[in-house]
Amino acid sequence: MDQPSRPAFDLPRYLSALPLFHDVAPTELARLAAGCTLRRFNRGQTIFRVGDPCEEFHVTVMGQVKLFALSSNGQEKVIEIIGPGGTFAEALMFTGRPYIVTAQALTDALVLSVSKAAVMSEIENDPRFCLRMLAGISRRLHGLVRDVEDYTLCSGAQRIIGYLLRDVGEAAEKHGGVTVSLPVSKATIASRLSLTPEYFSRVLHELEEEGLIEIDRREIRISDPKKLAQYQLQ
């Protein structure tokens, strides 16, 4: 029996949903789509390595991708975790230099790569496109600066609580709490926060003993986000 065919991936439509391409005209989106490559990666598969030439930037369509570096003794440091809709390598693409980190699929992932040639062509056609790319790069830089501030000014426990509360809004308080799903392993998140896995787990269990969270594998229930935020300041 024939298997039903999957619907074709509408690249121009997907691109139009990304903040970077919100105001791009359909004809321009079609040109960009022609310079895109859509690839599937299995969990653990490398997307690019340090030293590979960087001639495109990437968007995680589905799954999770980690950017990491290795120390001289082989220890891994997770720089960033890129979820659906997140972009990476857009700033490096303009420098003409090779990748300075390695990207690996943390889960089965679908990744869209946009060629440098297609991007440069659109910048020449519409300078406003360049401004949108600069805005995106600036947001990424701001996030990295905030990370450095956290590493130097915040305790490990404060970093963990900040991570748990990063996407919690006012609606969570009105509904009496929220459940946070960790997108990747605790060890990966610990590396992202420049902590050891043992310390990360210990702090989570201490917060659970204080009645601030409930842990069920990767599901963490925060009954009172405001109380947890106040605990962070102690």
CB-CB neighbours of 125 under 10 Å: 13
pLDDT of residue 97: 93
- Give me the DSSP letters along 147-201: HHHHHHHS-HHHHHHHHHTTT--HHHHHTT-EEEEPSS-HHHHHHHTT--HHHHH
pLDDT in tens, 70-116: 988 888 899 999 999 999 998 889 888 999 999 999 999 999 999 99
Asked if residues 33 and 12 have their Cβ atoms less than 8 Å apart, the reply is yes
Q: Which residue has the higher pLDDT, 168 or 17?
A: 17
CATH 1.10.10.10 in the chain: give the residue spans. 156-232
pTM of the model: 0.76
pLDDT in tens, 115-131: 999 989 888 887 777 78
End-to-end CA distance of the chain: 63
Q: To which residue do tokens 């089965």 refer?
A: 108
205 vs 13, 54, 79, 213, CA distance in Å?
44, 42, 25, 9
Class of the CATH-defined domain 156-232: mainly alpha
Asked if residues 151 and 167 have their Cβ atoms less than 8 Å apart, the reply is no
Q: How far apart are CA 6 and CA 99, in angstroms?
A: 33
pLDDT in tens, 32-77: 899 999 999 999 999 999 999 999 999 999 999 999 999 888 888 9
Over pLDDT 90: what percentage of the chain? 43
* pLDDT at residue 1 greater than cutoff 60: no
Encoded amino acid at 47, one letter: I
Classified by CATH at the fold level, domain 11-153 comes out as: Jelly Rolls (2.60.120)
Smallest CA-to-CA distance from 184 within 64, 13, 60 is with: 64
Q: How far apart are CA 121 and CA 211, in angstroms?
A: 56
pLDDT in tens, 179-214: 888 888 899 999 989 899 999 999 999 999 999 999
pLDDT of residue 172: 52
Give the bridge partners for 70, in sequence order: 76
In the chain, what are the helix, strand and coil shares in percent, each to the nearest 5? 45, 25, 35
Q: How far apart are CA 57 and CA 63, in angstroms?
A: 17
CATH 2.60.120.10 in the chain: give the residue spans. 11-153
Q: How far apart are CA 203 and CA 140, in angstroms?
A: 28
pLDDT in tens, 124-157: 887 777 787 777 777 777 777 777 777 677 888 9
| Contacts for 11 with CB less than 8 Å, ≥ 6 apart | 33, 36, 38, 112
* pLDDT at residue 24 greater than cutoff 90: no
